[in-house]
Amino acid sequence: MTDCCIIGGGIVGLSIARELAGRGRTVRVLVREPRRDTASWAAAGIFPPAADLAAATPNERLTAWSDRLHRDWARDLLDETGIDTGLRVCGGLHVYRDDAGRARLQANAAAWRARGVACEWLDAEGVTACEPALAGGVRRAAVLGGYLLPDETQIRPPRHLEALEQSCERRGVTITRGATVRDIPVRAGRVDGVVADVAGSSETVRAGAYVLAAGAWSGALAKALGVSIETRPIRGQIVQLRMAEPQLVRVVNRGLDYLVPREDGTLLSGSTLEDVGFDASTDEATITRLVAFARDLLGDLGGAEPERSWAGLRPGTVDGLPTIGRAPACGNAFVAAGHFRAGLHQSTGTAVLIADLVEGCRPTMEVDAFAPDRAAQPPTKDSVSALLARARGED
Ligand SMILES: Cc1cc2nc3c(=O)[nH]c(=O)nc-3n(C[C@H](O)[C@H](O)[C@H](O)COP(=O)(O)OP(=O)(O)OC[C@H]3O[C@@H](n4cnc5c(N)ncnc54)[C@H](O)[C@@H]3O)c2cc1C
């Protein structure tokens, strides 16, 4: 019998599958959406610097640990599959254009430094010295200054997904595509097979353990496990521009928007935070706004036109924390969901933690803060409602 059945083949599900298979377990992954329709494919792939301090919150510690693991995973994935996932310490600039933005960045800069993260405050001249392409934005007063995080990192999500999938297959993982899980029957405190529609017929998939890693769709499926979690779909749209020649080296952030330069000369402009339900379409007004954002910072884009655009549904949570742990009422079911805006970054640590729990060993890091039945935490500045308010300009 399969040791573990994973529901969901986004970055979280595939990372868990890879980790478990690497420990010698037989794993089957059930995947409904084509890869391109997952939040994982749609993501920008920005990894803010991660500080590993005793004083850090559990969420910060998960990010910092995952960040370290990513360096090893990128190297191992390259060795195993020949795919370069594009993990690069490219640096990140965070710029402001008004007093409110300046005040926010000053507070952020102080917080980064307090966590031991390298952070350099820059005036407009310093910004231009760092990224000459922002001179146009500085001239138009669209950029007045900001700070540099030399350790901000980027990864190419589609490549990382492809590498994970190939690595999983080499490790013997069975990935069943077009499989929609309909029900997770629980009998006598244990999941007794998951019922899925596969290629037009119903199949009950049995395994020793089950992991729910279905991104924004996890909340509805978790109810069958007696777990009440919200994984609210929060849409993010991105537009990709093909530049005549690369203009930026670093990720440039202003407010909640960002530009991400890729080594192949493309530039991503994103993103949005939209509470619109399970609708992963893009709309013209937003794409126009995102192109205008790129112009605001860079000036003339040298005739660059949007090459493609897409949207993904982030699994948002009320308290800004992912859910990682065993379903309290089921001895053999685990949940790994709700990573909101940090699912790529936190995927490696999540995978190791879930694999520890499935194997019944003490998790490598404390997981109580992420437990499916944790007490409601007060909203943080990263929680869905706070970020939506900020996206609407209400704070
Ligand atoms: C625009 C945008 C930008 C982002 N930028 C970043 C970033 O810079 N850095 C970062 O760390 N994170 C970023 N994120 C967040 C990150 O993408 C998510 O947190 C992460 O991808 C969530 O991964 P997941 O595997 O949980 O969900 P998903 O990738 O959505 O995967 C869910 C999986 O579950 C499957 N599924 C769902 N229901 C069923 C069912 N009933 N039966 C079978 N399978 C099912 C789906 O088919 C899919 O395979 C961004 C997201 C977006 C949208």
What is the residue whose two structure tokens read 């991105």?
A: 238
Report how far residue 33's alpha carbon sits from residue 37's, in angstroms, rounded to the nearest whole number.
6
Does any domain span residue 394? no
pLDDT at 305: 82
In angstroms, what is the span from residue 67 Cα to ligand 1's centroid?
18
* pLDDT category of residue 304 using cuts at 50, 70 and 90: confident
Instruction: Flag whether the pTM goes above 0.95.
Output: yes
Instruction: Note the pLDDT tens digit of each residue in 275-284.
Output: 999 999 999 9
In angstroms, what is the span from residue 139 Cα to ligand 1's centroid?
38
* pLDDT category of residue 386 using cuts at 50, 70 and 90: confident
Query: Per-residue pLDDT for 70 more than 70?
Result: yes
Number of folded domains that form the chain: 2
Helices (H) and strands (E) in the chain, counts: 11, 21
Cis peptide leading into 271, omega within 30 of 0? yes
Query: What's the CA angle centered on 367, arms 176 and 53, to 5 degrees?
Result: 120
Q: Assess whether 112 and 248 both reside in one domain.
A: yes
Does any domain span residue 382? no
**Could you identify the atom of ligand 1 that is nearest to the CA of residue 14?**
25
Closest residue by CA, ligand 1 atom 35: 8
Does any domain span residue 390? no
pLDDT at 245: 83
- In this prediction, residues 232-244 reach a mean pLDDT of 95
Closest residue by CA, ligand 1 atom 2: 43
In angstroms, what is the span from residue 394 Cα to ligand 1's centroid?
27
Residue-averaged pLDDT of the chain:
94
For residues 291 and 238, the answer to whether their CB atoms sit within 8 Å is: no
211 CB under 6 A from ligand 1? no
Q: Output the domain CATH number for residue 72.
A: 3.50.50.60
Does any domain span residue 60? yes
Q: Report CA-CA distances (Å) from 334 to 23, 212, 221, 263, 372.
A: 18, 6, 12, 38, 9
In angstroms, what is the span from residue 99 Cα to ligand 1's centroid?
35
Does any domain span residue 242? yes
Strand 174-177, strand 27-31: pairing: parallel
Query: Per-residue pLDDT for 97 more than 90?
Result: yes
Closest residue by CA, ligand 1 atom 16: 343
Q: Output the domain CATH number for residue 135.
A: 3.30.9.10
Kindly state the tokens that stand for 250: 């670093």
φ and ψ of 79, to 5 deg? -60, -45
Q: Assess whether 7 and 71 both reside in one domain.
A: yes
Query: What's the CA angle centered on 40, arms 35 and 45, to 5 degrees?
Result: 130
Does any domain span residue 247? yes
Does any domain span residue 111? yes
Question: Where do runs of H (alpha helix) occur along 260-393?
Answer: 284-298, 343-358, 384-391
φ and ψ of 148, to 5 deg? -110, 130
Least confident range of 14-18, 48-52, 355-359: 48-52
Q: Assess whether 178 and 138 both reside in one domain.
A: no
Cα-to-chain-centroid distance, residue 231: 13
The domain of 204 spans 2-85+156-230+319-377
The DSSP annotation for 90-121 comes to --EEEEESSHHHHHHHHHHHHHHHHTT---EE
> Any bridge partners for residue 137, and if so which?
none
Helix (H) or strand (E) holding 309: strand 306-316
Which of 30, 93, 50 has its CA nearest to residue 259?
93
Q: Report CA-CA distances (Å) from 194 to 114, 171, 223.
A: 47, 23, 14
**Could you identify the atom of ligand 1 that is nearest to the CA of residue 235?**
53
In angstroms, what is the span from residue 58 Cα to ligand 1's centroid?
21
In angstroms, what is the span from residue 57 Cα to ligand 1's centroid?
23
Query: Per-residue pLDDT for 392 more than 80?
Result: no
Which of 266, 313, 314, 275 has its CA nearest to residue 294?
266
% of the chain at pLDDT higher than 90? 84
- In this prediction, residues 94-121 reach a mean pLDDT of 95
Residue to mutate (ligand 1; options 14, 40, 160, 310; most atoms within 8 A of CB): 40
14 CB under 6 A from ligand 1? no
Closest residue by CA, ligand 1 atom 25: 10
pLDDT at 348: 98
Q: Assess whether 222 and 324 both reside in one domain.
A: yes
Does any domain span residue 137? yes
pLDDT at 375: 78
Instruction: Note the pLDDT tens digit of each residue in 348-373.
Output: 999 999 999 999 999 999 999 999 99
- In this prediction, residues 211-238 reach a mean pLDDT of 96
Closest residue by CA, ligand 1 atom 1: 236
pLDDT at 254: 96
- In this prediction, residues 120-138 reach a mean pLDDT of 96
Instruction: Note the pLDDT tens digit of each residue in 153-181.
Output: 999 999 999 999 999 999 999 999 999 99
In angstroms, what is the span from residue 237 Cα to ligand 1's centroid?
13
Report how far residue 155's alpha carbon sits from residue 345's, in angstroms, rounded to the nearest whole number.
9
Cα separation of the two ends of the chain = 53
Residue to mutate (ligand 1; options 344, 345, 387; most atoms within 8 A of CB): 344
* pLDDT category of residue 195 using cuts at 50, 70 and 90: very high
Closest residue by CA, ligand 1 atom 53: 312
In angstroms, what is the span from residue 212 Cα to ligand 1's centroid?
13
268 CB under 6 A from ligand 1? no
In angstroms, what is the span from residue 314 Cα to ligand 1's centroid?
6
In angstroms, what is the span from residue 390 Cα to ligand 1's centroid?
22
> Running DSSP on this structure, what letter comes out for residue 37?
G
**Could you identify the atom of ligand 1 that is nearest to the CA of residue 238?**
1
Q: Assess whether 70 and 120 both reside in one domain.
A: no
pLDDT at 394: 53
Query: Per-residue pLDDT for 36 more than 90?
Result: no
312 CB under 6 A from ligand 1? yes
7 CB under 6 A from ligand 1? yes
Instruction: Note the pLDDT tens digit of each residue in 202-212.
Output: 999 999 999 99
pLDDT at 319: 87
- In this prediction, residues 90-112 reach a mean pLDDT of 96
